[in-house]
Each structure stands twice: as C-alpha cells, then as structure tokens.
Amino acid sequence: DAGITQSPRHKVTETGTPVTLRCHQTENHRYMYWYRQDPGHGLRLIHYSYGVKDTDKGEVSDGYSVSRSKTEDFLLTLESATSSQTSVYFCAISESGPRGSEQYFGPGTRLTVT
C-alpha cells in the first residue's frame, strides 16, 4: 500500500469553527489532491497541488483553502465550517500528473459539522 495517512480520521465540529485536515505521504510523489465524497456525487476535487507551494482549485473549492510547505504534507483548511461541508474527505497522490497516472488514496477523514 502507498504510504498515505490522513489525520484525524474522524472529527465532529461546530458550525463556524476552523478545521484543518492533514495528509501525509512517504512516497515523495509530486502531485497531491483533496477530494470530498458525498452520496450521489461520487468524488469531487476540492484542490490539488503540483509541487511545494504550487496549488490550484478544483470544482468545489469555495470555503476551502490548502497549503503545501513540504513535499510530504498537504493541508486542507475549512476557515469557518458549515453543515454543507459534512462529508468524507480523501487525500490522494500521484507520481506525475493525472493523465495516465494512477492516484493512490488515503483512508479518508469523516467530518461532521453540527
């Protein structure tokens, strides 16, 4: 299995509080991604990174920010959590860009915003 960990694995938080999710990899892969998974929507890309300090938005980036100061860590921050951000969040990595390149997924973080 690819070395990807996510922390925390479960979190319950209140509306309006900031939340940071961490993705850590030991594979030295260049690309890292944050997705959210919701019933009926599959996986939707929130943000991705193509190198240290290089990030770009995905299709559902509103309300989320990311940072990547080291190759191995990719942080996802909800500045002010809302109930619509209750979801399961997956981090993924790939060695090169997603064209033809397999993505390896972490175990997920289940976030509940009350």
Partner 1 sequence: AQSVTQLGSHVSVSEGALVLLRCNYSSSVPPYLFWYVQYPNQGLQLLLKYTSAATLVKGINGFEAEFKKSETSFHLTKPSAHMSDAAEYFCAATSGGYQKVTFGTGTKLQVIP
CB 112 within 8 A of CB 12: yes
For the CB of residue 88, give the shortest distance to partner 1 in the complex, in Å.
9
Size of the site for partner 1 (CB under 8 A): 27
**What sign for the dihedral angle of Cα 74, 110, 61, 15?**
negative
Query: Measured from the CB atom, is 63 or 108 closer to partner 1?
Result: 108
Q: Which is closer to partner 1, CB of 7 or CB of 17?
A: 7
Interface positions, 27-56, toward partner 1 (CB under 8 A): 31, 35, 40-45, 48, 50, 56
Residue 65, CB-side half-sphere exposure with 13 Å CA sphere: 6
Residue 63, Cβ density class (10 Å: 0-12 exposed, 13-18 middle, ≥19 buried): middle
Q: How far apart are CA 114 and CA 69, in angstroms?
A: 30
Within 50-109, the residues that bind partner 1 by CB under 8 A are 50, 56, 58-59, 90, 92, 97-100, 102-108
CB of 47 to partner 1, least distance (A): 10
For binding to partner 1 (CB under 8 A), which residues are involved? 4, 31, 35, 40-45, 48, 50, 56, 58-59, 90, 92, 97-100, 102-108
